[in-house]
Amino acid sequence: MNGNNSIPTFLFHSLRAAALGLPFLAGCNMTDPMINDMETAYTIATQKSGDTHAERKAAVTQAVRKYFPEGMKTEDAFRLLRRLKEEGFEIGEYRHEGARVWPDGELRPYLDEATRRNLQNQYPKGLSKFTAKKQYGRHLLVVTKHAVVSFHVIDGSGEISDVEADIWLSGI
């Protein structure tokens, strides 16, 4: 390689090219409108100059808030979570006391002391964090897409808050 093209520069441009092609790399095989909106927001954000992961995540989060708006009633949010579960999403609930597979799993304490301390600092008593995750869209068994949606519910509030979302690629 000449002096103008270093390996880090090559890797940066390769990863950026992969990010720009996110909807096309693995084929847009999800028919869920929310996932499609997440991917569209991600693609638009990657096409802006100065694109950063934080900007992509903010765009994807904004797209998801169309479906899970801040202040949404918990029963409506849970109805959407059930639909996502039917579509193959893994749903988890994380609390100060432990975690469970939602909706029917048993709340179990965190396995080790370091994890327990870390998560108890993140989740004060009386708060639940719900997270829906899915791997989808394989291309040549090399690249996999991931989508995640999460929100908080304060016990007794009857509504959701702190909605976040992200999508990304992983592969060999």
pLDDT < 50 regions, the chain: 1, 3, 11, 13, 17, 19-29
pLDDT at 166: 95
pLDDT at 49: 72
pLDDT at 143: 81
- Crossing angle for the helix pair 33-46 and 7-20, to the nearest 10 degrees: 140
- Crossing angle for the helix pair 33-46 and 53-64, to the nearest 10 degrees: 150
pLDDT at 30: 53
pTM of full prediction above 0.75 = yes
pLDDT at 142: 77
